[in-house]
Amino acid sequence: MQPSFDRTGAHRRRRPILVVAAVAAALVAWALVVVMHPTSAAAACGTTNVALNRPATASSVEASRLSPDKAVDGNASSRWASAQGLDPQWIQVDLGSAMDLCQVVIAWQNSYAKSFSIDVSADGQTGWRSLYSTTTGTGGTQTIALSGTGRFIRMLGTVRATGYGYSLFEFGVYAGPSGEPSPTVTPTGGTLPGGGDLGANVIVFDPSQSSSTIQSKLDQIFAQQEKNQFGTERYQFLFKPGSYSGLNAQLGFYTSINGLGQNPQDVQIHGDITVDAGWMQGNATQNFWRSAENLSVYPVSGVDRWAVAQAAPFRRIDVHGGMTLASPNCGWASGGYIADSRVSGQISPCSQQQWFTRDSTIGSWKGALWNMVFSGVRGAPAQSFPSPAITTLATSPVTQEKPYLYADANGYRVFVPSLRTNSSGATWTSGNTAGSSLSINQFYVAKPGVSAATLNQAVAQGLHLLFTPGVYHLNSTVNINRANTVVLGLGYATIVADNGALPMQVGDVDGVKIAGLLFDAGTVNSPALLQVGPAGASGNHSGAPNLISDVFLRVGGAGAAKVTNALVVNNNNTIIDHIWSWRADHGSGAGWTSNPADTGLVVNGQNVTAYGLFVEHFEKYNVLWNGNGGKTIFFQNELPYDPPSAAAWSHDGITGYAAYKVANSVTSHEAWGLGSYCVFTTDPSIAAYHSFEVPVNANVKFHDVLTVSLGKGSITHVINDTGSAALPSSVTPHTVVSFP
């Protein structure tokens, strides 16, 4: 462990006074370098530190307060420090785009590198080229002239000068004038406006229109989107308050239907909102990416059909009747999610493998296949796992509903529901949902083609972000660094990571809400698609958690794609409410080497609560949970279909990676209703050792856990060494009711 300070500022480890003086000298020297840099830089070198506040990662950290972002924050008293006694170690910065580099300035803490190199890479993963190396590092502040081009730059330490690790106060990087970014980006030449129209792909209906006119438009879009699984078209239907009759709104891919009332009863559909699977002969396992929200439905037959798979939320809906969750022939189905809703009749899941319902009221529920989970649902069936496979929690520990668009006499607004604890039932059945309202004029209304620079300017101005339907290509990071910012997508607005960018990152701030977005990996590897909080985030956000709601992350399917970790949650107290993190098993670019991705969800924050985790097919751990105090209610997983062999998919003497891994360092964690399935199509002889891997600790508790083999390959145990083998000869769940 490197020398550190307690809260009084005194060393926990006794060190000579000379070392303290040396640290102070280094701080002064760094400050002088920052001030004097314009005159000390080479004539051809720019004067702006292009690494300042850019995304930084590292091989390790000694402690959360010594995270890599501290080396690029411009603060001469904060620092990054690696773990003790390890070689090699590195710190890496994503500059956002390839730049012609000319100088690096490193301000070392006393734990410096004797031997190190400065390397660059196009993607941060491969092809590293050394621009400078030394075996006689001096420590202090080193100003290094170099020449080369790269987007990612790292300091790679190979020999330490002390018995500790590597530590530096600042890692400054300078580029030639052509690569130097403008210090102030003003894409429109002035202040960005709030509000504006929602674009051509938002289709608004009002009660004065004839039913035939509305139905014709609904049918037109459905005909286009029914089979359009990986297309680029995106649509949002909005219904103004009032009553509509004679409609059947069939929803295809990337289509959302929402009411514009403040509450669901304000929009009444006397007809049906339908998802069926005729396009796949009744197989609903690929009915992804569609949604319904904030309206009332009066089904013609008394039963509404919602035969969906993943990423198809049913929110804030008042169903005056029952629901069925599969096609008429009860074909295969793999959903699904309901929240903040009321269904007066019976819900029949029929062939649904699993389903999650949260904070709602239902008339009754009929049947169960493998994993039906209810949290805070009034009228839910009683706990009975594993026979039938029903997990029921009376309340949800801490929740916040998704922000939603509505309209009043003055135009569009966004409502932000309040935080609830130990909640049950829908938020609106006894009056208006509690919360706050934002005018559309407080939002920057984004349309495809907008740059990250413009979006960052909007956030800096104090605007929230509303993404209209479409596909957005971003080649640098959108930084949500202002507390309580709302980022809301309509109609499955899709953000594509170009050139290896991390497209969106949240600061260590209160109350950010990110909802209704689909993130797509690009062809160049990105470190993540969404990162909630910087590495080492330490803020207490329990009073105003960050919220991730109906956020979907995709690696492949629409084309070859790469990412290291799809979603990374570093901020403490974050609420994750319904995600589907999916490494594609079909579509374009689906293959072990053509859409590589390590992990679907990494949780580093403390006291993170997750509802409705759907995470599938990643090549290492699907979920890796490193933070203490975590809770998960409902998890659905398929292990990757395509490991080339058991040997290629093994680590530490274990065949396969667990679907859900709780780190050995974790001392408290609890989870309910978790299922993991295997179908190893490339090598059916693979026998994964287990799907759940957790430390054996009385405060690490798992309830109602299962594995299933879907006919190819097997899973030897359910959790650690506990549970019987799921074999391909029998497609039945193998369960553990409680662990330990």
Q: Which residues are catalytic?
A: 638
DSSP 19-79: HHHHHHHHHHHHHHHHHHHHHHS-TTS-SSBTTTT--EEES--SSGGG-GGGGGSS-TT--
- HSE value, Cβ hemisphere, 13 Å, CA-based, for 320: 14
The structure tokens listed for 334 are 């793999």
Q: What is the DSSP letter of 461?
A: H
Check: CB of residue 230 under 8 Å from CB of residue 254: no
CA distance 327 to 340: 24
Written as one letter, the residue type at 637 is: N
The structure tokens listed for 504 are 């969106």
* Enclosing H/E stretch for 342: strand 342-348
Check: CB of residue 351 under 8 Å from CB of residue 326: yes
CA distance 437 to 676: 40
CB atoms within 10 A of CB 302: 12
- The residue whose two tokens read 């710190």 is 91
* Angular region, 453: left φ>0, alpha ψ -120 to 50, beta rest: alpha
Could you give phi then psi for residue 605, rounded to 5 degrees? -70, 160
Whole-angstrom CA distances from 210 to 200, 213, 215, 256, 580 are 21, 5, 9, 21, 37
CA distance 403 to 664: 36
- The candidate with the shortest Cα–Cα distance to 346, out of 314, 313, 321, is 321
- The candidate with the shortest Cα–Cα distance to 205, out of 507, 407, 54, 506, is 407
Residue 55, preceding peptide bond in cis (omega within 30° of 0): no
- HSE value, Cβ hemisphere, 13 Å, CA-based, for 372: 24
- The residue whose two tokens read 């295969």 is 332
705: helix, strand or coil? strand
Q: How many residues does the chain have?
A: 740
CA–chain centroid gap for 99, Å, is 29
Instruction: For the chain, state the CA radius of gyration.
Output: 26
- The candidate with the shortest Cα–Cα distance to 524, out of 505, 504, 501, 557, is 501
Strands 337-339 and 255-259: unpaired
Strands 354-358 and 371-375: parallel
Whole-angstrom CA distances from 468 to 196, 238, 437, 493 are 11, 12, 19, 6
The structure tokens listed for 681 are 């199509």
CA distance 557 to 589: 6
Question: What torsion do the CA atoms of 548, 538, 616, 304 make, to the nearest 10 degrees?
Answer: -20
Backbone CA torsion sign across 381, 385, 387, 390: positive
CA distance 57 to 526: 12
Written as one letter, the residue type at 24 is: A
Residue 321, preceding peptide bond in cis (omega within 30° of 0): no
CA distance 669 to 220: 48
